[in-house]
Amino acid sequence: MQELIARAKELLADGTVARVIGWKAGDLPYNPEPAYFEKEEDFDDFVYNSFCGANLSKLMIEACKLEGKTLVCLKPCDTYSFNQLLTEHRVDRDKAYIIGVGCKGKLDIERIKKQGIKGIKSIKGAEITDDAETLTIDTLYGEKTCAFKDAMLERCHVCKGKEHKIYDEIIGESKDTKDAERFAEVEKIEAMSPEEKFAFFQKELSKCIRCNACRNACPACSCRKCVFDSTKFDSQQKANVDSFEEKMFHIIRAFHVAGRCTDCGECSRVCPQGIPLHLFNRKFIKDIDELYGEYQAGEEVVERGPLTSYTFEDAEPGIVAERG
Q: Which residues bind other proteins (CB under 8 A)?
A: 189-190, 192, 194-201, 227, 234, 241-242, 244-245, 247-248, 251-252, 254-255, 258, 280, 283-284, 287-288, 291-292, 306-308, 310-312, 314-321
The least distance separating other proteins from the CB of residue 159, rounded to whole angstroms, comes to 24
Judge whether 267 and 217 are in contact, CB under 8 Å. Answer: yes
126-131: Cβ within 8 A, 24+ apart: 126/29, 126/30, 126/49, 126/50, 126/51, 127/1, 127/49, 127/50, 128/1, 128/48, 128/49, 128/50, 128/101, 128/102, 128/104, 128/172, 129/1, 131/104, 131/175
**Which residue, 106 or 283, has its beta carbon nearer to other proteins?**
283
Which residue, 23 or 284, is less far from other proteins as judged by CB?
A: 284
Length of the chain: 324
Task: Specify the residue, 102 or 306, whose C-beta has the smaller distance to other proteins.
Answer: 306
Element (H, E) at 20: strand 19-24
The least distance separating other proteins from the CB of residue 194, rounded to whole angstroms, comes to 5
* C-beta of 98 vs 258, nearer to other proteins: 258
State the minimum distance, in angstroms, from the CB of residue 274 to other proteins: 18
Q: How far is the CB of 80 from other proteins (least distance, A)?
A: 20
Return the number of the residue (142 or 318) whose C-beta is nearest other proteins.
Answer: 318
C-alpha span between 93 and 86 (Å, rounded) = 7
Q: How far is the CB of 310 from other proteins (least distance, A)?
A: 4
DSSP secondary structure string for all residues of 224-259: SS-GGGSTTSTTTTS--SSHHHHHHHHHHHHHHTTT
